[in-house]
Amino acid sequence: MVNHTSVTEFILLGFSAIRGLQILHFLLFLSLYLATLIGNFLIIIAVAQNSNLHAPMYFFLATLSSIDSCYVSTTVPKSMASSLINSNVITFSGCIAQVFLVVTCATAEFALLTVMAYDRFVAICHPLQYKLIMNWNACLQMAAASLLCSVTSAAVNTANTFRLYFCSSNIIEQYFCDIPQLLKISCTATEANEIITFAFAVSVGSFCFFFVFVSYGYIFSTVLKIPSVQGRYKVFSTCIPHLTLFCLFVSTAMFSYMRPKAFSSPSVDLLAAVLYTVLPPLMNPIIYSLRNKEMQTALWKIMKKTFDFM
């Protein structure tokens, strides 16, 4: 890696220079952050404590909640601290760590949502073979493979980004260290980086999207053959939360990174980043809790025990 002697720190884009609005931003992000952590931790605790939820679908959901907790923790606390102390400076090493963690968590979430689609496909289209195919060894291997691929891709993309020179501007037009924004301020030619980043995003995204699309094609085909309306509703109730999560994550990611340049501005970029990094982790527990009766029952037991203890 190239020795970066010109830039030792970066300046992130703040949401406002007005002190009152900075405090408002801190309070708003604090509320969203706490709500996200509480929601995801409740999902993890509910799955761990309730024996009825010791199934592959809920194992992947608990893993997703763990990733979401890490995902939102890579960007939001730093942004809150910047607003609170009125300083948007991030060290060079801190920026490297943030890029690595953001890419790891985002890729892991995408990969895990794809694995969850496969789980639903096997459960609905091959119910008699479900326990044989989706045994605990297979589930652990799928989760481990998703995390391993995510860490590997993050390491490659991070190393590929920070091998560049940063010598003129150190102002990142985003509230966290983002690869596209870093490429904009690099003194080195970035065509190769842009090609690699684009090729990686398109290849991984296309594979996962196609896999989920095909899985749900088979699922809907099987569900429509169920004669009972109640039976179709029961099956759909296990698929709709996952499909909603997948669409939410993909749509916010596409809006953040693939929208036309004509719709790009500092304020729009900030909004897109918030949608991409904060909204999916916040909404995942809510969507699953609203649509899943078993999860509602487990969460209600936790809340009841907590209030009885208090």
pLDDT of 1 reads 43
pLDDT of 4 reads 45
**187 — phi, psi (to 5°)?**
-85, -15
pLDDT of 256 reads 73
Distance CA 201, CA 209 (A): 11
pLDDT of 2 reads 45
pLDDT of 172 reads 87
Distance CA 99, CA 95 (A): 6
Domain spanning 9-309, CATH architecture = Up-down Bundle (1.20)
Answer yes or no: are the C-beta atoms of 122 and 130 closer than 8 Å: yes
Q: Could you tell me which of 281, 154, 193 has the C-alpha nearest to residue 2?
A: 193
pLDDT of 260 reads 66
DSSP one-letter code for 175:
S
Answer yes or no: are the C-beta atoms of 98 and 74 closer than 8 Å: yes
Strands (E), the chain: 9-12, 89-91, 171-172
Distance CA 54, CA 275 (A): 31
Distance CA 113, CA 102 (A): 17
Q: Could you tell me which of 213, 182, 176, 218 has the C-alpha nearest to residue 197?
A: 182
Q: Name the residue ranges covered by the structural domains of the chain.
A: 9-309
| SS3 labels along 82-134 | HHHHCCCEEEHHHHHHHHHHHHHHHHHHHHHHHHHHHHHHHHHHCHHHHHHHC
Q: For residue 211, give both structure tokens.
A: 């896999």
**The model's pTM:** 0.88
Q: Could you tell me which of 85, 83, 88 has the C-alpha nearest to residue 27?
A: 83
Instruction: Collect the ranges in the chain with pLDDT lower than 50.
Output: 1-5
Q: Could you tell me which of 156, 7, 154, 160 has the C-alpha nearest to residue 93?
A: 7
